[in-house]
Amino acid sequence: MNRNMSLMKNIFKKEHIAWFMPAISLFLFSCSLSEEIHTINKADTSEDSVSNNQKPNIIFIVADDMGWRDTGYSGNPVVKTPNLDEMSSVGLKFNNFYSAHATCSPGRMAILTGRTPLRARMVTTVGAMQAGEVTVAEALKTVSYDTAHFGKWGLGRKDTHPLNQGFDEAIWSKGHYNNGMSFFSGFSNRSDFDSSEKDERPIKTTGESSVATMELAIEFIQKRSKLKKPFFVQVCFGSPHGPHIAHPKFKKLYEELSKQDQNYYGEISGIDAAVGNLRTELRRLKIEDNTILWFVSDNGGIREGSGGKLKGKIGVRTLGLLEWPDKITNSMESHIPVSHMDMYPTILDITGITMKNQPIVDGISLLPLLNGRMNHRPKPLGFTRGGLSRKDGKFQIGDSVWIDGSFKLKYRKEQNKKLESITLFDLTVDPSESVNIVAQHPEKAKEMVKKMTVWNKSVQKSFEGEDYFESK
């Protein structure tokens, strides 16, 4: 071990520090490390959880492939998003909200579970998560919430169907969708393309897809508000995922632009209109004050104007807005790095829930941030790829990203080569990640690689099924 540590020290002194053999980092820091995995991943708890008779309504809204600069409030000079802009002016704006993964379904899995997607074998764009996962809907059912999902699901059928993952009701699509398509209600235990299942009922929609999806959710909310019971609703849009086909009403907003831009920005304005309809209805029902409305996108954007690194890259920024008038009485803005994985532990903290047999959670509670008591992230934030090797069938970690304070470390394994690169950035002074400072901070880079490697090994154990205490 001493010989290896000496070797690493010499490597970090070199100007070409970004390149070295994979055996070094994968072996050195996996040996005799005393850090306990749960101290990295366990969600913080808070004394500010609300009492039973004050439990808030909770609504998650998830856009599909919308980038962090695809709104007016984030500086896009073209797109028209007055409702999201208004929401940002009265709620909490996350300026460094990170997608849990590079593609759609893994990010959605992280939203529901607070876990990095690879733990549940979510390694591709679409596919089922493992049945042993615990979702926020299941957690909220333990304290008498009514729950419902509307829109894109993409997390599997049978055991991981939304009706088997804690949702009382689900009107869902089998994949991506556009204007005027059919959703489905009930179980589908066959393939994604077989609608012959007797319990599966098609529900035809009309008009703009995001607005139509939100109308289904609003109908559920109207009924539940009369019962005076707290509810959890997840609304997942199919926009602005390609192919971009905006409704004529919203294309008109961009008549001076190209057809491509009319359709792209028109879909985003459709999303904005749907959010506006929801916020208006919450106020009409007089339940807006005690309702948490959390708007995010599932991964990085898909075009250059979306800002920064795009879909397909791990550890990239995406949209994050939170409105809760009872708690957030003045507009707030945070530069603290947060993620999809923080949504689950935050909701459990707010509602005072402790789940029995809880698998490892990677996120943290952001309730202290809402209360003005968090000025930095108390533990690092990790992202990783990986899976089973095609050559030998063994598990292997791929690219990884580790954020610790203002430092962001990227570990990249070159395809078909036994070479690695490690780069380090200071997000405070270099948010565009243009200047590699690893040579100036070798000790910090070593420390971050060490913690990242420990975390990656815990992800591997989860991938292999060690987190699941009992079957559902």
CATH number for the domain that contains residue 276: 3.40.720.10
- Domain membership of residue 39 (yes or no) is no
417 and 348 within one domain = no
Answer yes or no: do 11 and 148 share one domain. Answer: no
Number of domains in the chain: 2
* pLDDT for the residue 415: 56
267 part of a folded domain:
yes
Give CA separation, 289 vs 90, 96, 100, 130, 400, in Å.
Answer: 12, 25, 29, 36, 40
Instruction: Let me know whether 322 and 441 are in one domain.
Output: no
Q: Let me know: does 113 contact 344? Beta carbons within 8 Å.
A: yes
Strand 381-388, strand 338-339: pairing:
unpaired
What digits encode the pLDDT tens for the residues 281-311? 999 999 999 999 999 998 776 666 665 555 5
Show the tokens assigned to 100. Answer: 């849990």
Is the Cα dihedral 438, 11, 41, 152 positive or negative?
positive
Asked if residue 143 and residue 21 are part of one domain, the reply reads no
pLDDT value of residue 192: 46
Range of the domain at 12: 2-32+380-463
198 domain residue, yes or no: yes
Judge whether 42 lies within some domain. Answer: no
Each residue of 102-158: pLDDT tens digit? 666 788 899 999 999 988 887 765 567 888 899 999 999 999 999 999 998 888 777
In the chain, the percentage of residues whose pLDDT exceeds 70 is 79
pLDDT for 149-176, tens place per residue?
999 888 877 788 899 999 999 998 866 6
- Sign for the CA dihedral angle at 272, 278, 283, 287 comes to negative
Position 398 scores a pLDDT of 83
Q: Residue with structure tokens 């997840």?
A: 234
Shared-domain flag, residues 324 and 445: no
Of 314, 340, 370, the last residue of a domain is 370
What was the pLDDT predicted at 161? 87
Taking 50 as the pLDDT cut, the residues of the chain under it are 1-46, 189-194, 312, 471-472
In a domain, 47, yes or no: no
Q: Is residue 14 part of a domain?
A: yes
| CA-to-CA dists, residue 133 to 153, 162, 222, 276, angstroms | 15, 12, 30, 33
Q: Look at residue 410 and tell me if it is in a domain.
A: yes
Same domain, 190 and 113: yes
Take residue 203 and report the two structure tokens written for it: 């529900």
366 and 391 within one domain: no
366 shares its domain with 402: no
Among candidate residues 349, 370, 391, the one where a domain is terminated: 370
In a domain, residue 46? The reply is: no
CATH number, domain of 11, equals: 3.30.1120.10
The whole-angstrom separation of Cα 360 and Cα 411 is 23
Q: How far does Cα 465 stand from its chain's mean position? A: 22
Last residue of a domain, one of 316, 338, 370: 370
Are residues 95 and 6 part of one domain? no
CB distance 108 to 128 below 8 Å: no
Tokens of residue 227, six digits: 């019962």
Whether 262 and 385 share a structural domain: no
